[in-house]
Structure 1
């Protein structure tokens, strides 16, 4: 076993990870992880993959990947340099070819110039005609309509009295009080039972539910619903990282925790008590509406 592989293996064991757990976190095949620990880099797909796998392994177990690669660069195969392909420089055209191209281009421009001049002349004529037509239209002023004069009409005072009395009566009538909304049921969570690495909880509370998963130390977590459909895949979490999930329409959620004592879970503010052991745990939460 190489010194680099020994350091990585010790860090993995200190985190409480097995090779299977590390495979879930990094998505690197278990045989490659074992090869890194044994210093067998020749089994990797190539030097680039060997460096990338070592860096990802180190980050998953909480080591400084760049510092580790620098300290043990003698043990890691260097990436092969790519060959630089030279490109053929196209031959420079001869003076005769250049002169022929310029001549054909000049003759084409000469043929197009009369057409361009005619088109511009037509556009100018249309513009002058449009301006002249607009000036004729503005000279035709509309006749002014004389304002009507006369005594303004005033409605009798009796017609205003009735609406005023109706408004006063409406103000005196007491407004109907809106019915009070029913109070939202309180949330509660309790342990139903524990079997091996799996602990089952029962949640009772409002129909709208939100779950918050927070890391207090290096750890990883994955979650599925009652149909084994992934809510989010296995993700590595560092201290103060958090995941917020809307679990309103779920009947059940199952969480797989690595380094479980470093995690905290709450639903609608109600904490889920996580046991200190084992390091890797399954948390199953079953939801039901409050009575």
Structure 2
């Protein structure tokens, strides 16, 4: 057992907490709590989560995480090296994109010349063949003035009917658009407001909508637990950007949604596609417990 793990375990026993009770408080799986006490950080999902779990453990047993990190900095995993591979992969991707783009630009002049030649052939064919055929088959003008007059009057009458119909349709459409705009102006806009904050816990209230679709999006890597007001969990696990970066749950038939977030700095919450800002800054609290009540 490591010195850091021994210090945390002693603090837990001093408070009279079992591993099961500590698991319920922190929402960290028991096997990770055992790994922290034994100093086995390699079993964690990553170095970032190892530090985050140690911090939650320390807060739960009333120890100062910053002091522990400073005192046992040789035991606590560092997250600096985790960012290097991602940066290298971005540089490689940009080089690959640059090479691919240059190849496309190399063949553009050839494509342009081919299209130009095709266009010239089409114009020659049109004026030589198509225009000649049109002039040969053009109907001769009708010499009867009386027939021309009757046809002209009929066309004029049809034109007046079409203009009148178009005017009526335009007026009807304008009337419908005005009614629709008026209804949209009168309809109240969806509102998500903060009701109460306490530590890492925030309560919101959803108003002016019957729809309640919740979406949690990861901008990096985060652990989440999505539950209803009765404690039933719809999803619990890790979201990663580019793989399983979002999770959506329809809470329209529920009275409230509860979201437990392990890494709020890389997590975004949307209600009916409208982003909800954190009332408590992620820099202040990495883990946050969010409750959104649906006030239908």
| TM-based fold match above 0.5 | no
TM-score between both structures, scaled by the size of structure 2: 0.42
Does 1 or 2 have the higher relative contact order (CA < 8 Å, sep 6+)? Answer: 1
* Higher alpha-carbon Rg: 1
